[in-house]
Structure 1
């Protein structure tokens, strides 16, 4: 995941920042003596985009779950966690200072142009950065249509800036930098809940003073509204009726096309489903059914 964010940042900066034309001018290694040597061999300015820290974004944490189905199995997904990627971006010139050349001024100008590009692109949206249908091969599916929360130049800065430069070795001078934070999802695995509910029976007993007076079975049924090619239809209107057409329960299908109806006594029923653009379908079934299937198909 992070490597795709790195490449996206490089592609954005190289494409939109004046003075950058080659990917070698935007790199991600530590800004230490080795980096200085690398920059000295370049023919132009460079940006160092260094990932200094990862932190969970707890403001965006949620315990919500989403459900879907695959091959008749119900799956539950915990909402993705969010991680803040903290980058420090510094500008570098290969020129040697002398009375006629002041490379720091060029570095400051490059840093300003980079900040302007990042502020304009905030929040980062991969589909907008690359253009429709131009995402790189292997780009994560969860980022394709995402809009990534982004913070450019936060007011409180990077709290460990002095400590950061103290770890770069040698006599690294303090440099101005852009503090950039990009928030990315961390997708968690699916939990298998088991087969979709089709029939569930609840026994209820009315108790008299000395002995049971009666025992009734109330049944929950579950089904799916399907298109002609077997694709579940979300948001379909569903009503369970008596064979004579008297309404008993009305609901809508979930985003996975599933519906549930509670507290039905055993007997014969009719299920009526409506879908915009497809019309209406009706089927009758017994509860509990011999095969436990209550699906409605628009064929």
Structure 2
């Protein structure tokens, strides 16, 4: 992921519309410590910090329409990748400072043109599969209280002009997903608290109605046939636990235990097999 981000930033800096000094400078992602000695004018992008962007965290599952129904997966994690950008010249004295300042200033101007990385510059896994969110860029913004001096001390080099670049990527650490079938119909069935009825439907495993079945309410010693939609009902039955037994021609009986109550009056029976 980070190597693809490096390549994407290099492609951005090598864009034909970029300023000539920026485009002609070499781009390095090496650690700019005291051993760093480029042989030509160079832009160094040092990736020094990677952390989750908690302000963009969203734990809401992502759902999208697919041919089989709806695909649900966990959302991507948004990650801030922060670079320290410095310019390096092989010249000496004032000419060195002038070239470094020119390259760094033009780089700042060029990168500020991109609130998000252009899709045409994205490389590798940032391009395919495509990022679920735009790859945003923040240039020359440092967090409050953050000191750049610690970098120069750690790198063992003299302080030099630098600017920060933060790119926000999305990474998908949870490849698992679930596909749910499309809802093709909705049926609302209820009951009255003051006039309760134990009711339901006899359905196949594909949720199709079984129009020829007999339903027995075992504990009450009652039996009834189903209608054309597989519906059945038992009136004047007190609330409680019951056993529903469904009989169909040529098939084994199917039994379901139900708790019949004022707020649980509808109980379907799904046949599990032939």
TM-score when scaled to structure 2?
0.62
Q: CA deviation at 1:157?
A: 6.9
Q: CA deviation at 1:54?
A: 0.6
Number of corresponding residues: 213
Residue aligned with 1:95, SS:
coil
Structure 2: unaligned runs, 5 residues or longer: 207-226, 231-267
**Corresponding residue for residue 151 of structure 1:** 138
**Corresponding residue for residue 174 of structure 2:** 189
Query: What aligned pairs does 1:77-226 form with structure 2 within 5 A after superposition?
Result: 77-97=73-93, 101-127=94-120, 130=121, 136=123, 139-143=126-130, 146-154=133-141, 156=143, 159-169=146-156, 172-193=157-178, 196=181, 214-217=197-200
User: Is contact 2:82-2:165 (8 Å) kept?
Assistant: yes
**Corresponding residue for residue 58 of structure 1:** 54
Bigger CA radius of gyration: 2
Q: Deviations over 1:103-124 (max 9, x none)?
A: 1111111110000000012222
Residue aligned with 1:121, SS:
coil
Cα root mean square deviation, aligned? 4.3
Structure 1: unaligned runs, 5 residues or longer: 224-264, 269-286, 292-299
2:66 aligned with 1:29: no
TM-score when scaled to structure 1?
0.57
**Corresponding residue for residue 247 of structure 2:** none
Q: Distance in 1 between matches of 2:173 and 2:186?
A: 30
Q: Distance in 2 between matches of 1:168 and 1:102?
A: 24
Q: CA deviation at 1:5?
A: 1.5
Q: Deviations over 1:99-151 (max 9, x none)?
A: xx531111111110000000012222323xx4xxxx65665435468522211
Q: Deviations over 1:61-101 (max 9, x none)?
A: 1111123577958653111110001011001101233xxx5
User: Is contact 1:76-1:190 (8 Å) kept?
Assistant: no
Task: Name the CA shift for 1:220/1:168 in 2 (closer, same or farther; >3 Å).
Answer: farther
Residue aligned with 1:189, SS:
coil
Q: Distance in 2 between matches of 1:176 and 1:91?
A: 8
Residue aligned with 1:83, SS:
strand
Identify which of structures 1 and 2 has the higher relative contact order when contacts are C-alpha pairs closer than 8 Å and 6+ apart: 2
Q: Distance in 2 between matches of 1:46 and 1:220?
A: 72
Task: Name the CA shift for 1:106/1:266 in 2 (closer, same or farther; >3 Å).
Answer: farther
